Amino acid sequence: MANMKEDPEINNLKKEKGQIDKSDKTKDINLQYHFYLTFFAIIYLGSYFLPGIIFMLYFFLVFKPFFLDIKDFFSLFTELKPLLALALMPLILIGCYLLHLFFVGLLTRVLWRFTEWRSPTQDGIILRTVPSDTLNYYHIRSFMIKYGKNAFTKGLFPWLANWFFNFVGSNKIGKGTTIEEEIVADKYIDVGENCYIGVNSAICSHAVEGIFGRIPYYEIKIGDNVTCTAFNIVGPGGDIKDNSYILPLSGFTKQQITKGNNYYFGLPARKIFTKKVMNYLKISEEDLEKNKNLKESKDIEENL
């Protein structure tokens, strides 16, 4: 009796009432690995196609005949053609590398727009145990952005990462903002101007709650002139107003909103007063007075 299959009508009633086992829900989810492999192949191979052709043409048509095939060692540094072939090699390499990064951004942008057209990004809670287009494209976008993020942040020109995220459309990053290497901060984040996001911070618009089988996914908004020093966490839906200073090892819970124009510390992060800031930074009242006088004198000089 234990091995007998349950009546299909009973299963249908359970599905209608939401009384279905968690294991049954998991079996229905399509992981769609073919999408991951296809998108990765398009971005990875496509970004190397044209730069690879340019480099190979230069190598075989210019560098090899005019430098590598020269038998006289002294003529390599006395004749014009070998010198030009050698001098242009680093420039060709850097140019092909930058062209590769550009195509990484371009192809990622095209595929990102395609996924947004199929299932737009929006605030809400994504159920991991229920198959849906929202869940599928959430995973696809999370996978797709990783190669470009690592290619820029771990490459020769990490400051181009802001251009990459803005160009793709996964983030909005203002002018003068510096984002150090960190854990996430690759999608659905709006950062203002002149901000600093310190090392090993986690500005995360999503949180995987394995116990509840869901993913809260909310846009994070960071205002202008915000400083996240290091090892900070901002949860989904966080809203950090202008001129906020977050001290190290501080964390904001989901959908926490600050008033700005102050210092924040702790978990969950909360506003701290002047004396606590002075004790934390080991600053005396005399130092604050000196800083105030310097600021006043600077303002007077600027007005003159």
Name the residue with tokens 């797709």. Answer: 144
Both structure tokens of 236: 């989904």
Whole-number pLDDT of residue 304: 66
Q: What pTM value is reported for the model?
A: 0.79
Q: What's the pLDDT tens digit per position in 253-282?
A: 899 999 888 889 888 888 887 777 777 777
> 212 versus 51: which is more confidently predicted?
51
Residue type, 291: N
Confidence of residue 31 (pLDDT cuts 50, 70, 90): low
Please give the average per-residue pLDDT across 230-254, as a whole number. 92
Whole-number pLDDT of residue 266: 86
| Closest C-alpha among 183, 203, 207 to residue 192 | 203
Whole-number pLDDT of residue 182: 83
Q: Is the pLDDT of residue 81 over 60?
A: yes
Whole-number pLDDT of residue 94: 96
Question: Residue 120: how many CB atoms within 10 A of its CB?
Answer: 9
As a whole number of angstroms, the distance between CA 253 and CA 294 comes to 37
For residue 116, CA distances in Å to 119, 136, 141, 233 come to: 5, 12, 9, 27
Domain architecture of the chain: domains with CATH: 29-161 (no CATH), 170-272 (2.160.10.10)
Residue type, 167: F
Q: What's the pLDDT tens digit per position in 285-296?
A: 787 777 777 777
Please give the average per-residue pLDDT across 5-27, as a whole number. 43
Whole-number pLDDT of residue 227: 92
> 260 versus 57: which is more confidently predicted?
57
Confidence of residue 120 (pLDDT cuts 50, 70, 90): very high
As a whole number of angstroms, the distance between CA 84 and CA 63 comes to 9
Task: Please list, in sequence order, all residues whose beta carbon lies within 8 angstroms of the beta carbon of residue 68, skipping any fewer than 6 positions away.
Answer: none
